[in-house]
Amino acid sequence: MPTHSGAHGQKGESALMIHGKRPQLSPVAHLGEATLRFVGDTGAMFLFLLEASARIFSSLGQFHKTVRQIYFIGVKSISVITLIGLFTGMVIGLQMHYALAKFGAEGFLGAAVALSLVRELGPVLTAIMITGRAGSSMTAEIGVMRITDQVDALRVMDINPIGYLVSPKLAASIICFPILTAFFDMVGMAGGYLTGVLLLGGNQGIYFYRIQAYMKMSDVSGGFIKSLVFAVVVCTVTCFMGYYTHTRRDAVGPEAVSQATTAGVVSSCILILLSDYILTSLLF
Amino acid sequence: MLQGTTPDIRLEGLTVGYGKTAVVSGIDVTLPGGKISVILGGSGCGKSTLLKHILMLQPALAGRIMIGSHDLAGLDRRGMHCLRQRMGVLFQDGALLGSLSLGDNVALPLREHTRLDEAAIRQRVLAKLALVGLEEFHDYYPNELSGGMRKRAGLARAMVMDPPLLFCDEPTSGLDPVNAAELDLLLLELKGSFEMTLVVVSHDLDSMRTIADHVVVLGEGKVLYNGPLAELEATTDEYLRRFLDRQAAARTSPRLTMPALDFKAMKRDCSKYLDQGERS
């Protein structure tokens, strides 16, 4: 995570360091500094999210920007989601058929494929795919704007950069993630049908009947809630990393953008899996 | 706030820097209203940092900044909005938004802060682009323009709200002498045509000599000179003289005292290697 340069640091001459000199820290002090940094960054990320959320409806212009982001995050992700969803469903169909056949329960293939997709794999894989495709680009876009003074230019024009850059992305993510997840689930079930019914000779009627019989509304709503949470997590983390590119200690300039992009994608993926576990424990 | 005035900018006991690190301290300077003040200094002396503090992009480490009668530290959110809408800023590389056309870039402050209809916005944008000689490039994107054009477009955007305060960060850096001279003339024209206070951060001496009414020289972490251009030109201060006359400081560089590379031996080794290659 990036570290803030402490622009709001202590005031007064006594608190100032001599230009260019950094104090030597012991290992314990390093650990303490890293902990403080983590807590500070986590808090900053929440404030970032709050500000972005508060500015979603700040003006009519936000609507047009949000539509553009829906096109970028949602429409342009459909092909990759279709491909990944289809193959995921096909693989689950194969594997589940193999496992269920051992118990003579091939007839439950439809339910097994649908439940795995709707409760778990659909929201998680969709979120990870969008992180790779759109999240990385969000970090890079905002990061480049930061290092080329475009964010400062917005500020001096009295345009809130978070409202201008992040809020439309957040709104678009909240709209697109559940829709893309539903699309992924649907294509995945079709993939399971391809392998389980058409390839391995399962019964078509039973495949769909079991899906209908065993799928509850809570399964669908649970997956829907997960995708909403992932939308907020992915958008917040990737945009936050881009927005604070200039405060990174490990690199400056274009290298900082690339580091921020990597950090944004990795942190998002970790947080998707972490929050997935928590949500699964709470929801089901 | 600042309506119809060309305010002074007073820096009182100001210390600027990043985090806890002070870059320039003890700044007591008044940048006069209605004039062009040039903040001059070598690379890394804190010119741009000082500008970022005046633009309220960073809080001061100590001291205060007064624009007219307003203390920037004491401004509430509304005051900040009012002041920022009366400031224009030309960033070093123009800082145009890459996703917007030139026209949309210049129109951005009008769309965000005024209730003008699109026809009025377009008319105003074209007038400002004409001011910098870019009206034909209204639909171009920043990546389709040269560095000098991007700077002029940045200037048009900075001017679109007719601000009484205009700040320019290194306006001539990276430009060829002709483009740099044109930009200087443009700044002089702006000062002559509109009532405004201009603050220009630069290390370009030619540019400074062309446009400056008032000069502040930064160096060694402090203000080395603050006054009119004519007095600066007559200074006898050794550091300033060297800076103004573009003389390199006398130094004993370690690289000059290092033993020279043995090129003869290298050549000998290479010849031996090449001879072996030919024989085999």
The answer to whether residue A236 is domain-embedded is yes
Q: Do B109 and A158 touch (CB under 8 A)?
A: yes
The answer to whether residue A25 is domain-embedded is no
Mean pLDDT score across all residues of chain A: 89
Mean pLDDT score across all residues of chain B: 86
Q: Do A13 and B25 touch (CB under 8 A)?
A: yes
Taking CA atoms, what residue in A is nearest to B163?
A157
Q: What is the Cα–Cα distance from B165 to B159, expressed in whole angstroms?
A: 9
Q: pLDDT at residue A17 above 80? A: no
The answer to whether residue A262 is domain-embedded is yes
Note down the domain range covering A144: 77-283
- pLDDT category, A117, cuts 50, 70, 90? very high
User: Residue B45 in contact with residue B52, Cβ under 8 Å?
Assistant: no
Structure tokens at B204: 């370009």
Q: Do A7 and B21 touch (CB under 8 A)?
A: no
Measured between beta carbons, the chain A residues lying within 8 angstroms of B19 are 5-7, 9, 17
User: Residue A60 in contact with residue A168, Cβ under 8 Å?
Assistant: no
Q: pLDDT at residue A144 above 70? A: yes
The answer to whether residue A253 is domain-embedded is yes
For the range A55-61, what are the long-range contacts, defined as Cβ-Cβ under 8 Å and sequence gap of 24 or more? A55/A160, A55/A162, A55/A163, A55/A167, A56/A167, A56/A168, A56/A170, A56/A171, A58/A160, A58/A163, A58/A167, A59/B112, A61/B111, A61/B112
Nearest by CB: A158 against B20, B60, B113: B113
Taking CA atoms, what residue in B is nearest to A6?
B19
The answer to whether residue A34 is domain-embedded is no
A102 reaches B (C-beta below 8 A): no
- pLDDT category, A6, cuts 50, 70, 90? very low
Measured between beta carbons, the chain A residues lying within 8 angstroms of B25 are 13, 16
Amino acid at A146: R
The answer to whether residue A177 is domain-embedded is yes
Looking at this predicted complex, what is its ipTM? 0.82
Residue ranges of chain B whose CB lies within 8 Å of a chain A CB: 15, 17-23, 25, 52, 55, 57-62, 80-81, 84-85, 87, 89, 91-93, 95-98, 108-109, 111-113, 157, 221
- pTM of the predicted model, to two decimals? 0.83
Q: How many domains does chain A have?
A: 1
The answer to whether residue A12 is domain-embedded is no
Q: Which of A4, A181, A198 is nearest to A84 (CA)?
A: A181
Taking CA atoms, what residue in B is nearest to A151?
B95
Q: pLDDT at residue A206 above 60? A: yes
Measured between beta carbons, the chain B residues lying within 8 angstroms of A149 are 91-93, 95
The answer to whether residue A217 is domain-embedded is yes
Q: What is the mean pLDDT of each run of 10 residues along chain B (280 residues)?
A: 73 87 90 91 86 89 89 86 89 90 94 91 93 91 90 92 91 84 88 87 89 91 90 85 71 58 77 72
